[in-house]
Amino acid sequence: MTDSLQAQVLIVGGGPVGSTLALDLAWRGIDTIVAEQNPAGQMPGVKCNHVAARTMEIFRRLGVAEIVRDTGLPADHANDVAFRTSAIGVEFARIQIPCRRDRYTRKDGPDGHWPTPEPPHRINQIYLDPLLAEQAASRPNVRYLNRTRIHGFTQTETGVTAEAEDLDTGRRFTIACAYLVGCDGPSSMVRREIGAQLTGDAMIGRTQSSYIRAPKLRAMMQAEPAWSTQVMNPRRSANMFAVDGRETWLIHNYLRPDETDFDQIDADACIRAILGEGVEYETITRENWIGRRMLADRFRDRRVFICGDAAHLWVPFAGYGMNAGIADAMNLSWMLAGVLKGWADPAILSAHEAERWPITEQASIHAMETASALMRARGQVPADIETNTETRAVLGQQMLELHTPQFCCGGLNFGSFYDRSPIIAYDGETAPPYSMDGFTPSTVPGCRTPHIWLDDGRSLYDAMGPDYTLLRFDPSVSVDDVRNAAAAQYVPLTVLDVAPQPPYREKLVLSRPDQHVAWRGDAAPKDAAALIDRIRGKLYP
């Protein structure tokens, strides 16, 4: 290893957010270095268990959706959410979610109707992390430096220089880059270095997580195994995720409000109450953690950015911790690529915080509301839940109403929108409101470009270009002015003729590289050059 390395972008942290960012930058032709402290292939934590549909759409674009979907639980293992008095106790409700074998074909259930080419996927982080890291490291434009710690950095008007250490040899070296992105987690060094402060709710609830092996548990269950088994009895409330679908599980034991000291909690007694009488198990790893709702007051300092847990922390309901982090990274990636390739003005980078901060606040509030409702429910488990059929029926209905929105959260996937972006041409119409599970596909600028299936059977997203795509629903409408204005500024633009169908009602819709609507109209804008300048950041501020 030389004393100095160079890259266009340095990513600090090689978890799922950092690896996905590296994949996207490499796909866009950007030379990237990832600095990750852990050895290659080391088993990560087992917290995350869910890849959202929007993230799977990203993986599809990057060519890794198939390998991600083929990893994790067995193909026929139910992705259902079950509610039981214990893991081997009585089941009183179930949310039906197709196994991955049937994920593309089954359209029933609470998320079968979603307008997407890539439904969600249930996979534990111990499988996803190394898979994404391996995929990123295999790309020609990515250098993946395991066992490398970044101690700090300095920046000038023209670049960033990071101080790095090889943790195996102790050798110090520098990495010079045009931009640095911190994807380095909750205790982010990059966040501290740029002076960003986390604010919000520092204490939502305490959780004791245990990764266990119980070879006989599955055979002892009274009902079909589920991906998530929610246990509720007067002694404990917990969520248990199937990890390998055979003998390993992750148990989140939710502590009661009066249980304020982790050291005073008998973890094994809790696990026995969660699993049920007579289940043998061994603990593989154990972690205590506190649920929070914290948001950094800034996501950027000049040439340095933060994404994922470095920028926001919240209780992991709806699975929107990692997935929101990947959304951060995908929002930033195409802007960085545009600046580095020369077609975007550097001012476009100000749009990252302007877009992601408000949307992150929206998502965290939805997660917070769900967390509060669930905490109340867990504290009010009926004393006769294990003996009274009617009690179980009532609680089961309550749990279905409370949990279905977070486990089938279409609103967070498809309803969120950018409403204050400097690089979107708004036209006065307000984006439709959304809830955690409710959404209305819309072409209002700032919304996700609505997905449709084309007449030839292809997904719209597969047919769109990698950068800007002008969707034309009436081929008689001239778009030469837009083409020429884009070409004059070297803005990559593809024109795609599409047969009209709902929810598209305009003749032209301009979609960004991240599949959000940038502009729409029934004819080319009178000043096409001004539109192109706006979307490439030239008109900001």
- For residue 473, what are its two tokens? 């629903």
Residues 6 or more apart whose Cβ sits within 8 Å of residue 230: 81, 82, 83, 84, 238, 239, 240, 399, 403
pLDDT tens readout for residues 404-437: 998 999 998 999 999 999 999 999 999 999 988 9
Which of 4-8, 90-94, 369-373, 384-388 is least confident? 369-373
- Rounded to whole angstroms, how far apart are CA atoms 71 and 69? 5
Specify the pTM.
0.95
| 325 in Cβ contact with 308 (< 8 Å) | yes
CA-based nearest residue to 141, from 28, 285, 12, 300: 28
Domains with residue ranges and CATH for the chain:
4-72+123-198+294-365 (3.50.50.60), 417-541 (3.40.30.120)
> DSSP state, 450?
P
- Rounded to whole angstroms, how far apart are CA atoms 145 and 166? 9
Q: On the CB side of 525, how many CA atoms lie within 13 Å of its CA?
A: 22
Residues 6 or more apart whose Cβ sits within 8 Å of residue 398: 377
- Rounded to whole angstroms, how far apart are CA atoms 267 and 250? 13
Widest pairwise Cα distance in the chain: 75
pLDDT tens readout for residues 241-297: 999 999 999 999 999 888 888 888 999 999 999 999 999 999 999 998 887 778 999
Looking only at the bridges linking them, the beta strands covering 312-314 and 282-296 are antiparallel
Residues 6 or more apart whose Cβ sits within 8 Å of residue 191: 182, 184, 198, 296, 306, 310, 311
- For residue 165, what are its two tokens? 């250490």
pLDDT tens readout for residues 27-62: 999 999 999 999 988 877 777 889 999 999 999 999
